[in-house]
Amino acid sequence: MASPTTPAIDDESLRGLVTRLNANALETLRAVDAKLQQWKEKETAWKALEERIQANIDAASNLVTLNVGGRRFTTSKETLLRVEGSYFHALLGCDHWRPEGPEDAFFLDLDPVAFDRIMIFLRQGELILDGLCDWERRQVYSAMDYLKLTTVIEAAQAPPAWSWNPLLTATGLGLGQDDLRLHASQLGGGWKAVLGSKAVMSFTLKLDEFDVETCVIAIGFAPRRGFEIRGRFLDTCGYYWVLPRGILWGQDGTRNKMYGGGSSVGRHAVENCEGVEVSCRYSHGDIGFSINGVEFGAAFHVNLPTVELYPAVRLLGRAVISIVA
């Protein structure tokens, strides 16, 4: 007998409920089976791709010729494949890339200067940069980045450390902490500038103290030749991102161009400069900037990649700036 507080369920209703539950369960099982089948097909396709890549690598000649910017390098397949997951694994394993030209060589659009150091590294496991100038060192690191050898760059010799150059620091700018900290205490006196001691591929500055109401700062890269430590010179020597306005000025003709405003995070950081970290990167001829790790892409393209570029700051007003990296 049914409970006084519970409606009775007749046999017909119970059968209908069971039928619906069975239908729902069957539909769920079919969906799960379909998903499992998709995963199985993807796994099979991925395994086939791996097998095809390995087959292509196995079929590749044991001697491989590279055409690096017009210069020929020949080495063994084993040497090129020494670093797992590098560009050379894709080059030798992909169906789309084939040797070309009369020398039957793979073309790499890289500067051949000092490329032999990368070949020595692949053979011996040691990156030897002795005897190279700063520009040649940067070419080596840039090429290793392109070839997906960055995992070994950290274990290899790091780029030379840098600081501010006391001989290229304007009057009114003070240096401290072994020339790693810059402070401008004068509100007047016009634009003042300082240049780094070494040409580098990237650097990071922290704006420890910065008044967005009274101070303007231009951060970027500049050549040593022609660099003036007094005056504005934003469009005659160097490539700069001007804060807090977030605009670009450069010797390539770029003037008052908005940059970095596409990200709300970056815009907020630009408008509230004090305490943020600004990074500048120079790679493959492109100069780009980031704030607190937010990248904004290429800002400039340098048409003379052989010119050494140094960290540079031009500022108007009071500020305290520290070198982070």
pLDDT of residue 280: 93
- Residue carrying the six token digits 């596409």: 262
Q: Quick one: 171 and 145 in the same domain?
A: no
pLDDT of residue 265: 46
Note whether residue 44 is domain-resident.
no
Note whether residue 247 is domain-resident.
yes
Q: Quick one: 238 and 134 in the same domain?
A: no
Note whether residue 312 is domain-resident.
yes
pLDDT of residue 264: 47
Note whether residue 286 is domain-resident.
yes
Q: Quick one: 191 and 311 in the same domain?
A: yes
Q: Quick one: 204 and 294 in the same domain?
A: yes
Q: Quick one: 176 and 109 in the same domain?
A: no
Q: Quick one: 279 and 315 in the same domain?
A: yes
Q: Quick one: 227 and 186 in the same domain?
A: yes
Q: Quick one: 145 and 179 in the same domain?
A: no
pLDDT of residue 60: 55
Note whether residue 209 is domain-resident.
yes
Three-class HEC string of 111-180? CCCCHHHHHHHHHHCCCCCCCCCHHHHHHHHHHHHHCCCHHHHCCCCCCCCCCEEEEEECCCEEEECCCC
**Single residue among 101, 124, 153 that ends a domain in this structure:** 153
Note whether residue 78 is domain-resident.
yes
pLDDT digits (tens, 9 = 90+) for 209-231: 877 777 889 999 999 999 998 88
Residues 6+ apart with CB under 8 A from 4: none
**Single residue among 153, 188, 205 that ends a domain in this structure:** 153
Compute CA distances 145 → 148, 150, 153, 158, whole Å. Answer: 5, 5, 8, 13
pLDDT of residue 263: 42
Domain that holds residue 80: 63-153
CATH of the domain at 313: 2.60.120.920
In sequence order, the β-bridge partners of residue 181 are: 176, 322
Residues 6+ apart with CB under 8 A from 9: 17
CATH of the domain at 92: 3.30.710.10
Q: Quick one: 170 and 146 in the same domain?
A: no
**Single residue among 108, 127, 153 that ends a domain in this structure:** 153
Residues 6+ apart with CB under 8 A from 91: 80, 97, 106
263 with 249: CB under 8 angstroms? Answer: no
Q: Checking DSSP bridges between strand 173-176 and strand 181-184, what pairing results, if any?
A: antiparallel
Q: Quick one: 114 and 179 in the same domain?
A: no
φ/ψ bin of 36: left (φ > 0), alpha (ψ from -120 to 50), beta (otherwise): alpha
131, two tokens: 């005897």
Residues 6+ apart with CB under 8 A from 151: 83, 85
Q: Quick one: 129 and 230 in the same domain?
A: no
Note whether residue 145 is domain-resident.
yes
254, two tokens: 């770029």
283 with 201: CB under 8 angstroms? Answer: yes
Q: Quick one: 175 and 121 in the same domain?
A: no
Note whether residue 13 is domain-resident.
no
* Number of separate domains in the chain: 2
Q: Which residues of the chain have a pLDDT value below 50?
A: 1-2, 49, 59, 156-157, 159-160, 262-266
